[in-house]
Structure 1
Amino acid sequence: MARGLTVIHADIPVDPSSPEAQQWLRDELARPEYQSAKPTWFDVASKAVQDWLASLFQGPGGNAGPVLLLVVVVIIAGLIVAAFFVFGRPRLNRRSTLEQRSLFGAEDVRTAAELRASAQRAATSGDWVLAVEEQFRAIAVALDERTLVRVTPGTTATDFAHRAALVASDEREALRQAARSFDEVRYLDRPGTEAAFQQLVALDQRLQRVRVATPAVTS
């Protein structure tokens, strides 16, 4: 029995700090089963990233609310700034602008497309007076919608023609004639004509192709 105990004590190192014991430990850890279980550099990096994200959303005392709110605000602000640089400054709502505008002495909130459709219906029914009036209004509103010419309260047809000519100089005479046709049927009780209406339609189509980089004309 004593002999067996002597063998056991001889197999177990008595001093773990001895060079021989340390070498045995290194040899043991070098075995394949230990090396395969060793974390890779990717495991270490992933754990570091996970710990960092967890620290952000936990915040002091483990409350994620304030930190999460801050992250959401920063993301939204970044999206707004990006949209500003990509799309430019948003324009004012054109409908709200129209609601505050007197169009040649009458309140009118219709869009250019609506006015064109009204003019075409009047022309189809042979009401050339209304067709001329509505088509001229469509021209004015179309340029106002594009912020090329601003129509303000008190603007007359002649005023509008003068302002529009500043951004479409090639159409100066046609604009002057268009304003005259509008004034004749609107204020002088002159009968409208199909020719006058078709001239306004053609002018409207040409003005839709005008591209001007200058700000809206207001005076």
Structure 2
Amino acid sequence: MTGGLWAVVTAIPLDPDAEEARRLLREELAKPPYRAAEPSWFDLASKAFFDWLASLFSGADGAGGGWLPLVATVIIVGILVTALLIWGVPRLNRRRTATTALFGEHDGRSAEQMRSAASAAAASADWSLAIAEQFRALAAGLSERTVVAVSPGTTATDFARAAARALPAESAALREAAGAFDEVRYLDHQGSEAGYRAVRALDDRVRQARPALPEPAELHAGSSDGALS
């Protein structure tokens, strides 16, 4: 018994009537120390929530009943959906990683960024660079769409051959574009405006085309016709 309450009790006559005793107790319990000890609205709400949660996992006999499997399933599905939203589908993630490898160890640009670089080079009449950047954009675009999967050692000819399986109508144009890339990238040939515009037109057509292959063709290093780096 606290000191305040004891003082009230000792101050009450030995034989007070019931009404007087109740009045004195109400006055004492209304003081701040007693009010502070009462549970807050948050305490009451928390207790109600946890009581409700516990009721889901216990039936009348104390067993989990049919609620436990249902709640566990909902939690697992929620975790899986959240993971897919954050990290994406695993297969697509592997393709995006390969896209970065297409441009070399330190080049993580997207296909659109490569196209912008090609346009800037063309505006400066640097046709060799414009052709190289436009071909990289073409390859990166197909990799991002998961039409063709590439590895760090993929060559221009390898890529053109795999892309032709998905886009047979562009087989000849793909071979010519790969040859133009190899010439300006590895053989020090001077590119031309016509060569750049041909690769750009091919890229434009490929972006609108519907590939014939339902799954991306896996590529591996092996040809010496010029790596896409």
Shorter-chain TM-score tier: 0.5 to 0.7
1:101-116 matched pairs, under 5 angstroms: 101-103=101-103, 108-116=107-115
* Pair member with larger Rg: 1
Q: Could you list the per-position Cα deviations for residues 83-102 of structure 1 after superposition, in whole angstroms to 9, with x for gaps in the alignment?
A: 9xxxxx82216543334x24
Question: What is the DSSP-based 3-state SS (H/G/I as helix, E as strand, rest coil) of the residue aligned with 2:208?
Answer: coil
Aligned partners of 1:57 and 1:68 also within 8 Å: yes
Aligned partners of 1:149 and 1:216 also within 8 Å: yes
Which residue does 1:96 correspond to in 2? Answer: 97
CA separation in 1, counterparts of 2:164 and 2:182? 18
1:1-219 matched pairs, under 5 angstroms: 56-57=55-56, 59=58, 73-79=72-78, 90=89, 91-92=92-93, 94-99=95-100, 101-103=101-103, 108-212=107-211, 213-219=213-219
Question: What is the DSSP-based 3-state SS (H/G/I as helix, E as strand, rest coil) of the residue aligned with 2:217?
Answer: coil
**Residue identity opposite 1:59 in structure 2:** S
Deviation of 1:73 (Å) = 4.2
CA separation in 1, counterparts of 2:79 and 2:165? 35
Which residue does 2:42 correspond to in 1? Answer: none
TM-score (norm: length of structure 1): 0.60
Which residue does 1:38 correspond to in 2? Answer: none
Deviation of 1:78 (Å) = 4.1
Deviation of 1:59 (Å) = 3.4
Which structure 1 segments of 5+ residues have no match?
1-52, 84-88
Q: Could you list the per-position Cα deviations for residues 145-181 of structure 1 after superposition, in whole angstroms to 9, with x for gaps in the alignment?
A: 1111111122111111111110110001100110111
1:72/1:120 CA distance change after superposition, 3 Å: farther
1:112/1:171 CA distance change after superposition, 3 Å: same
**Residue identity opposite 1:97 in structure 2:** A
CA RMSD of aligned residues (A): 3.7
Which structure 2 segments of 5+ residues have no match?
1-51, 83-87, 220-229
Aligned partners of 1:136 and 1:182 also within 8 Å: yes
Q: Identity rate of aligned residues, in percent?
A: 41
Q: Which runs of 4+ in 1 moved over 6 A?
A: 67-71, 80-83
1:93/1:102 CA distance change after superposition, 3 Å: closer
Question: What is the DSSP-based 3-state SS (H/G/I as helix, E as strand, rest coil) of the residue aligned with 2:189?
Answer: coil
Question: What is the DSSP-based 3-state SS (H/G/I as helix, E as strand, rest coil) of the residue aligned with 1:92?
Answer: helix
CA separation in 2, counterparts of 1:56 and 1:116? 60
Question: What is the DSSP-based 3-state SS (H/G/I as helix, E as strand, rest coil) of the residue aligned with 1:189?
Answer: coil
CA separation in 2, counterparts of 1:79 and 1:58? 19
Deviation of 1:210 (Å) = 2.2
CA separation in 1, counterparts of 2:56 and 2:158? 62
CA separation in 2, counterparts of 1:112 and 1:164? 16
Deviation of 1:107 (Å) = 5.0
Q: Could you list the per-position Cα deviations for residues 66-123 of structure 1 after superposition, in whole angstroms to 9, with x for gaps in the alignment?
A: x99976543243457789xxxxx82216543334x244x6653211111111111111
Aligned partners of 1:163 and 1:217 also within 8 Å: yes
CA separation in 1, counterparts of 2:118 and 2:138? 11
Count of equivalent residues = 160
Question: What is the DSSP-based 3-state SS (H/G/I as helix, E as strand, rest coil) of the residue aligned with 2:158?
Answer: helix
Question: What is the DSSP-based 3-state SS (H/G/I as helix, E as strand, rest coil) of the residue aligned with 1:176?
Answer: helix
Which residue does 2:32 correspond to in 1? Answer: none
